[in-house]
Amino acid sequence: MCGIVGYNGTKRAVDILLDSLSKLEYRGYDSAGIAIRDKDIEVFKSKGKLANLKEKIENIELKGTVGIGHTRWATHGEPSENNAHPHISNDGSVTLVHNGIIENYQELILKLEKHNYKFYSDTDTEVLTNIIDYYYKKYKMGPIDAINRTMVRVRGSYAIAVMFKDYPDEIWVARKDSPMIIGQNKDGVYVASDVPAILKYTNKVYYIDNLEAACLKKDQVIFYDLNGDVIKKELTCIKWDAEAAEKEGYEHFMIKEINEQPDVIKKTINSYIQDNKIDLARSGLTEDILKSFKQIYIIACGSAYHVGVCAQYILEDLTRLPVRVEIASEFRYRNPLLDKKGLAIIISQSGETADSLAALRECKKQGVKTLGIINVVGSSIAREADYVLYTLAGPEIAVATTKAFSTQLIVSYILATEIAHIKRKINKKTYLELIKEIQTLPDKTKNILDNLTKSIQKIANKFSYIHDAFYIGRNLDYAISLEGSLKLKEVSYIHSEAYAAGELKHGTISLIEDNTLVIGIITQKEIYEKTISNLVEVKSRGAYIITVNPNDLDVSKVSNFTINIPETNKYFYPSLTVIPLQLLSYYITVSKGLDVDKPRNLAKSVTVE
């Protein structure tokens, strides 16, 4: 989950590396480091955020035009300058940055110690650096042979950028199960973990596949397979706007991305709905293919899993297909029984989520067709899935997802509506009504942001001191409660839980006392009265209740503070209820003085198990 960057060109490398690393701090901010090649390789590292590294080198003149950099999310070894990347082999022949985990590093340590290698850090990355050095010296056939032998020898995941002392004008890279993208323009060649890091410099990129390596020269990229043979790759154009990865006057990326939701929701809708008709042709999902599925599995992690919970309610109700939602990290370890006539939907913003990628591969192994709902074009899941539906959220920088979550919801609505229509579970009139209502969601989202932000900010300031919060709802309201609760805990560090409202009396209500914050989501009219009854129960025990509900539902008897949202179809309320919950989490966090974009211990993209 670390971030790596590299540059080989005609410009000062230090400026590009530091700027690119600043775009990758969402991947880790325990420590940072760079290695710059002039006559020799100079390494600079610092514990903590990137600002500490910048301060450390601000008065050092670094003219080199070749370099690699790293921002760390600690796995092996505590956050420290010693454990920070880049790492150097014993005699300085190899300098390396790494994203991933080497699972058999202890076995490799024993091997290297027999050959008199010593270790100064607690990291698996230093071991990786020295095993490359070992093969480089043993076989004396150059960087590609050393890297390929290492790829065969190590187990785990990695994206690496390597500088060899004997090859001053080259950077070597390789990957397995960790993200990497290579860009090129007239000023040189770039490598990074994610697109935003290099989008300012180029939108022309290469995608490097698993167990491939590449040599980055100043004006070209040469790709190799595991046999050391040269392979050809085509440049791809990234259509993201570079400005989308900047704050553009907002205090934080999170509030910027919350406010971008009406626009990205509209873009996502327009990419699949034209002339009152859903068109999934670009994904390869034809009518015959959609008709063939007898079961749906939804597999995801974190917020994407919460999208899956919402989608389960909607898909089952509209399509009448059985739907099962799976936590990706648990999926393959329970030896799942899968129907070969089923469809496995993998939801991931980055398309690189390690557990979700492993689940996709398990589904394919069992002969189940896979569909990725993905935000990043060319990512691992996007390339490996049988079908892909892209969300058009653009680059999302804040660790806590907002706009990617909302666009994933939109794609779920569109997919459910189309399957229901093709399978004739809804008539033409209902089909057109659902499409029309989906198209109103951008304006209704904007209405919430325009009219409710200030009042939510005021109520949020009142609750910055709390230690616990509970989110409750039923059906789709419970599903979105899961996301609201996660948003609060991950950025504000307030303990928060979400419960299906009817479960409160089965133990949890014992935690309610005077002024305990309870957020009730109430949109589903068929079960509205039951949720109200549950809120009455907690209010009688002293809870302070905030409700999120449409204007046509009366909550005056239970609510201490009411957040009224526009009305919509019952299936689409998650898109509207989530906006106030995002704002509430954001403003509570800001009032506590915390770093809302980079919450402690978290990284944006979880690319290791």
Cite the active site residues: 2, 604
Residues 55 and 144 in one domain: yes
Q: Are residues 471 and 414 part of one domain?
A: no
35 and 98 together in one domain: yes
The pLDDT assigned to 240 comes to 74
Classify residue 608: in a domain, yes or no.
Answer: no
Residue where a domain stops, chosen among 187, 209, 238: 238
CB 346 within 8 A of CB 299: yes
Residue 141: what pLDDT? 82
Higher pLDDT, 452 or 398: 452
387-433 pLDDT, tens digit per residue, is 999 999 988 888 899 999 999 999 999 999 999 999 999 999 999 99
Identify whether 604 is part of a domain.
Answer: no
End-to-end CA, the chain: 10
Domain shared by 205 and 184, yes or no: yes
| 328, 416: one domain | yes
Q: How many domains does the chain have?
A: 3
**68, pLDDT greater than 60:** yes
445 inside domain: no
Q: Judge whether 471 lies within some domain.
A: yes
Grouping H, G, I as helix, E, B as strand and the rest as coil, residue 100 is strand
Residues 433 and 493 in one domain: no
171 and 320: one domain? no
| Phi, psi at 162, each rounded to 5° | -130, 140
Asked if the structure places residue 154 within a domain, the reply is yes
Same domain, 145 and 294: no
Residue 512: the pLDDT is 77
As beta bridge partners, residue 344 has: 297, 370
Q: Which residues contact 522 (CB under 8 A, 6 or more apart)?
A: 473, 477, 528, 531, 532, 547, 548, 549, 553, 555
The amino acid that residue 264 corresponds to is: V
Last residue of a domain, one of 439, 473, 489: 439
Quick check: is 605 in a domain? no
Angle, vertex CA 287, rays to CA 282 and CA 290, nearest 5? 95
Strand (E) or helix (H) holding 496: strand 495-500
Residue 63: give the domain boundaries. Answer: 3-238
User: Do residues 550 and 532 both lie within one domain?
Assistant: yes
pLDDT 10s digits, 142-197: 999 999 999 999 998 899 999 999 999 999 999 988 889 999 999 999 999 888 88
Q: What CATH number did the domain enclosing 157 receive?
A: 3.60.20.10
186 and 289 in a single domain? The answer is: no
Of the residues 413, 439, 465, which one is the last residue of a structural domain? 439
Type and span of the H or E element at 471: strand 468-473
Per-residue tokens: 167:
């090859």
On whether residue 446 sits in a domain, the answer given is no
DSSP 234: -
* H or E element, residue 236: strand 236-237
Question: How high does pLDDT run on average in the chain?
Answer: 92
Assign residue 267 the CATH number of its domain: 3.40.50.10490
Using pLDDT thresholds of 50, 70 and 90, give the confidence band for residue 502.
confident
Percent of the chain predicted with pLDDT > 90: 71
Q: In this predicted structure, what is the pLDDT of residue 29?
A: 75
Q: Are residues 37 and 139 in the same domain?
A: yes
pLDDT digit string (tens) for 240-250?
766 666 777 88
Instruction: For residue 575, count CB atoms less than 10 angstroms from its CB and return exposed for 0-12, middle for 13-18, buried for 19 or more.
Output: buried
Q: What is the pTM of this model?
A: 0.80
Q: Which amino acid is at 172?
A: W
CA distance 323 to 308: 10
Instruction: Say if 93 falls within a structural domain.
Output: yes
**How confident is residue 609, by pLDDT bands cut at 50, 70 and 90?**
low
Unique residue bearing structure tokens 């919970």: 309
422 in the same domain as 534: no
100-129 per-position pLDDT tens digit: 889 998 999 999 999 999 999 989 999 999
